[in-house]
Amino acid sequence: MAVKEFLKSKLFFKHLLLIVLSFFAILVIMNFVLKIYTRHGYEYEVPNIVNKVLSEVEGSEDLSKFNIVIMDSIYKEGVAYGTILTQDPNPGNMVKKGRKIYVTIAASNGEIVQMCNCKDLGLKSAVQTLVDKGLKVGTILFRTSAFKSTPIVVEQRYKGQIISPGTDIQSGERIDLVVEVTSTTEFVAVPDIIGRTENEAEILLWKAGLNVGSKNYEGERDETHTRVSYYTPANKNVIIGTSISLNLCNDTSRKYQKELDRFREDLKKQEIIETSPTTEEETIENNEE
């Protein structure tokens, strides 16, 4: 059979059709196999596990499709061991089954650091030195001295005992400072801590010669978004060493902004009352009454 006649024959078209069909069949099969191999179309939303304890969520149904990998552990005061601090990928991302979620958890103890020397430093410098070392201020104790024109640290204590510079101590621990001042009844201005994070507010109070009192948390505690919405006593000036209690609220909530605005307004009213002059006649009338 001549080539031209074969190209025009039914046999040629039959074979050509079989080749085309086979080609498409192979494409379909390969596509199907690739979908199975890559799990194409089967993606799952990453749950939010930040602030949850790792041991409690590892066996949960939400995480059965993922693998948890601990990347680092960081000591956080007041945070339970194993609490998840960060995660990657972030919550809400769509990923395939078996994807690894990398987390940072809270360590049981802080790293060991060497105690710094705060003695003979001004209060502000001593506070900053402790903070830079990864330590916190416990209680600031004041006593009078006729020889100190500015607040000077004369002792540093840990759990009631004097602690020497160079002593090994875990980061995050609290150090009490004994400070000598000319008068323990002098007034100091409360720093602007409204809208500050918990850590920022503490440092500002310590540097001003004030202690941190009780703390009230509205909502879930968060290092970044938990901020001071108001404090007590709500005065512009207080006696040195006064304990300032903090109310902390998540800055993403509506209540936070309302409390912030209301407290600032109260401070303004108080400032107007304190600075308004009282005439001699008003004073006499008040005394007669």
Tens-digit pLDDT string for the chain (289 aa): 566 665 667 776 777 788 888 888 888 888 777 666 655 557 888 889 988 888 888 878 888 888 899 988 887 777 788 899 899 998 888 888 888 899 999 887 778 899 999 999 999 999 999 999 989 999 999 999 887 778 999 999 999 999 999 999 988 899 999 999 999 999 999 999 999 999 999 999 999 999 999 999 988 777 778 899 999 998 889 999 999 999 999 888 888 888 888 888 888 777 776 666 554 444 334 444 4
Pair 190, 264 in one domain: yes
Pair 154, 260 in one domain: yes
Tokens representing 11? 């046999």
Pair 235, 152 in one domain: yes
Domain membership of residue 153 (yes or no) is yes
What are the start-end ranges of the H helices in the chain? 3-7, 10-38, 54-57, 123-132, 198-207, 254-275, 280-288
77 in Cβ contact with 134 (< 8 Å): no
Pair 177, 231 in one domain: yes
Domain membership of residue 116 (yes or no) is yes
Pair 120, 102 in one domain: no
Pair 101, 126 in one domain: no
Domain that holds residue 205: 112-275
Name the nearest CA neighbour of 40 among 88, 91, 94, 90: 94
Domain membership of residue 237 (yes or no) is yes
Domain membership of residue 36 (yes or no) is no
Pair 188, 239 in one domain: yes
Domain membership of residue 26 (yes or no) is no
Task: Please report, for the domain that includes residue 98, its CATH number.
Answer: 3.30.10.20
What total number of domains does the chain contain?
Answer: 2
113: enclosing H helix or E strand: strand 112-114
Domain membership of residue 2 (yes or no) is no
Query: Where is the domain boundary, 107, 138, 160?
Result: 107
Model confidence pTM above 0.85: no
Domain membership of residue 15 (yes or no) is no
- Quote the CA–CA distance of 184 and 207 in Å, as a whole number: 16
Query: Where is the domain boundary, 107, 124, 142?
Result: 107
184 in Cβ contact with 241 (< 8 Å): yes
**Residue 277, preceding bond cis, omega within 30 degrees?**
no
Query: Where is the domain boundary, 54, 73, 107?
Result: 107
Domain membership of residue 180 (yes or no) is yes
Pair 79, 172 in one domain: no
